[in-house]
Chain A
Amino acid sequence: MKKNKVLLLGWDAADWKIIGPLLAKGQMPSLKKIIDNGVYGNMSTMNPPYSPMLWSSVATGKTPDKHGVLGFIEVVPNKKVLRPVTANSRKVRAIWNILHNKGYKSNIVGWWPSFPAEPINGVIVTDKFQKVSADIKKENPIQKGTIHPESLVKDLRDFRMFPYEITEEHIIPFIPDAIKIDQEKKNNGLIAFSKILSQNVSLQNVTTYLLEETEWDFMAVYFDMIDHFCHSFMKYYPPKLTGVTQEHFDLYKEVIIGAYRFQDMMLGRVLDLTDENTTIMLMSDHGFESGNKRIITMPKVAAAPALDHRQFGIFVACGPNIKKNEKIFGLSLIDITPTLLHHYDLPIGRDMDGKVILDMFIETKKPTYIESWEDEPGDFGELKIEEDSDILSDEETMEQLIELGYIERPDDKIETSIHKTKCDLKHNLARVFLGKKDFIKSKSILLELINEKDPIDIAPYYIDLMTACIGLKEYEEANRYLIDFKKVKTPVNYNIYFIESDILLGNGNTYKALKILEAAKDKKPNAEIFYRIGNILFILLKYEEARDSFELAIEMEQDRAKYHKALSDTLYELQEYEESAEYAFTSIELVKYFPAAHYALGRALEKLGDLNNAKIAFETASRLTAKTYSYKEDKALENIEEKINTPIELKDKSNYKYRDNQIIVVSGLPRSGTSLMMQMLDKGGVECLIDSKRKADDSNPKGYYEYEPVMSIQKDNSWLVKAQNKSVKIVAPLLNQIDGQYRYKIIFMTRDLDEILKSQQKMIGKNTDVLPIKLYNSFKKLLKFIDSWKNREPGVEIIFLDYSEVLENPKSSVETIERFLGTKLNKPTMINCIDKTLYRTRV
């Protein structure tokens, strides 16, 4: 008997929200057996959540831009024909190809897409095997390429069940009042039901046959029953939705539960046929909406049924080296292939996007890597050349995809259908890049697509284009596309309030952005609106209100990692560090590869004094962030290491040591003594980054010590490289534009606000007796912001020096500065340059 075997079961669209209550009632005993003996967790999906793309990612460990399966259908190369995606659409090696090369035997059943069968060591029963004709009374023949090896066709052909074989006994557990259904009516529920059930029984028959009759190392079986039943019947699942007739609700309300229970019954038999040496993994590629977000009438957009897909699917596993009854976190479907390779002691391709799920193993070993499996020579059991397109045409699959609503019935004009399909595939690729935050690549594809003409609906391209621009912080451009988008004629009513608010926010119109979201919330509240409102309130430093808004978002949707992370950040600002850590941790539980959540956890733990765990959290955050962008994480890690290694207690993160290439920033509100401080540093021996473009005047007779590019730091902060080991003046409102890759020592000048305002009024020739209240409040807010911002920037060390204090006690002030900068200064010269006569505006 072979050891080290893995059985991977795919249950398309299985969702914990349905499974949870069934487990509690003992109605999925087989799944419970795996959970009790193994690990379980959420499986995170990818964007766009289209099953052939997702299952190809499962089988390759790569995102669709790499594996090449970009939708449900494709255009046959060099021919004017459309067909469902095939194994030929996949441009990279699947796990079974790699295992073939290494001498392992695989059985693959029903995988989407796997037709035509690849000549691997083992068996492939492709996704074409179980598909039935549109005419449910007809038995379609088994086409060439459906099964590898061909010699198995004679054994397997009789395992196909056809819809006409479905009996009353099969139907009643799902639809107890099936007798009331008018079968004369076209497209009555029983037709879809019979097709889905019979197809999945065919897959089960092949599965039990291969389990009993063949030797194998790896076996993967894909069932689409839950997904297909959900697409046809989820709208009837309780509670009853408005818009669903009572008659239909009563008839079909038990179909979904029936589907899960039957899937579990089939699992029971599969488990009976596996031995204790087999590792079993069971997963879904996404979840399925079962609450009030269910859509009754699908909008006319490409692959509309996928709008019902939820972000999280399921994952369970048990086996000899799998932990028992433990929840594991942060799984993504691209992790499956790397994990399988690791299980078989094979190296993981560095070009794979997924990671090994090490958390599920009892005994762990270090994963090994190779650059890519694609470059490896040898036999990988691949299809040699693209087979004749006629062989690959697949009417049954096309018909099913049309019935499920994933694709439109091709137009009479095939050219139009082909063109639409090409656009859909390009759009899907753009969405993949959006999901990977590669906004530049996404944008360039979308810019091509918005030039398409009728009958192509370009509205969805505009929506994603604006999202890409927002991701690139190109708000003006996004706004131009928004104006264009509003002129586009589209049959779909798009909600654009998120885009509008993002653009406003990016352009600094915070309150207008908030207003748009508030209006949307009043119209139809949802979790995402509350989350975004919370984000704006956070920016406005209204932390209590932000907390309330995030809590409401979480109440509506508990499994969104970003909501928990946002609440963690807010609680941190409210100095509720314990709760902050808890929410950061929940966020990580949901999505492990979320560096910002690890960072949030690190900050909270640091405040709680748990420095060692904070260090681990910062290390993880740094490791998960691309090296080019991990400055913040790296600096937080340096700080915590200093804290751990320094026996004395430090105030915040300032340890007053000189840092290599540090940038000394003199900041404060205008007229708070920043020029004086620059002058003092200059005299003290610190080189100043200035250009002397602004000349000395009556208000600042000794000069402004300014550097002109600072004024446009929002657009370009690359000049900061020149400021290393120098001092530069950056006024308070621009401080948050500094580049996180450097270390900063900020001397922040404070001064009585009344004095500042009077001095400013005087400088611009205004009445000094009238206090500009708005400006006063705005300065107060800015100072509050700086106070909170400094805590979020691990590269920033700051001291606050009061202007009058510097004038009154120059000696101690200069000593403080010297200590803070960690560098020797010419203190007497610094003190001598202070001219008290210039302290002219006093309150």
Chain B
Amino acid sequence: MNKKSMKIDINKIPLNSSLGLLAYGHIAFKAWRKVKKEYKEKKDEKK
């Protein structure tokens, strides 16, 4: 078993996330939160 670090392409993270994403741990989780935040900000801007 090798230590496999992960790079996240934030553009590929779905807004609603997925179980697979949750299983991937902190990096994916932080990235998802960022996606949600950006989405919310954009939505608020439109308002």
Contacts and interface: CB of A to CB of B under 8 A. Distances in A.
Contact of A169 (B1, B2, B17, B27): B17
Interface string B22-47: 11111101100100000000000000
Contacts of A207: 25
The winner among B6, B17, B18, B23 for most chain A CB atoms within 10 A is B23
A212 interface: yes
B19 to A, nearest CB: 5
B23 A266 contact: yes
A275 B1 contact: yes
Given A205-B26, A269-B25, A276 B2 contact: yes
A45 interface: no
A273 interface: yes
A478 B33 CA distance: 63
A639 interface: no
B22 to A, nearest CB: 5
Contacts of A266: 23, 25
A265 B19 contact: yes
B22 A170 contact: yes
A161 B19 contact: no
A733 interface: no
B7 interface: no
A31 B4 CA distance: 18
Given A272-B1, A273-B3, A275-B1, A169 B19 contact: yes
| Binding site secondary structure of chain B | loop
A292 interface: no
Given A170-B18, A269-B24, A201 B1 contact: no
The winner among B5, B14, B19 for most chain A CB atoms within 10 A is B19
B23 A169 contact: no
A169 B16 contact: yes
A835 to B, nearest CB: 87
A201 B22 contact: yes
A168 B18 CA distance: 9
Contact of B3 (A33, A168, A274): A274
Contacts of A510: none
B10 to A, nearest CB: 16
A208 B26 contact: yes
Nearest to B18: A169
Contact of A262 (B3, B4, B23, B26): B23
Interface in A155-201: 158-159, 161, 167-170, 173, 197, 201
Nearest to A201: B22
B23 A159 contact: no
A269 B22 CA distance: 10
A159 B16 CA distance: 17
A274 B16 CA distance: 29
A453 to B, nearest CB: 51
Contacts of A29: none
A263 to B, nearest CB: 9
Contacts of A209: 25-26
Interface in A256-280: 262, 265-266, 268-269, 271-276, 278
The winner among B1, B16, B17 for most chain A CB atoms within 10 A is B1
Interface of B: 1-6, 14, 16-20, 22-27, 29-30, 33
6 contacts: A159-B26, A167-B16, A167-B17, A205-B29, A209-B25, A269-B24
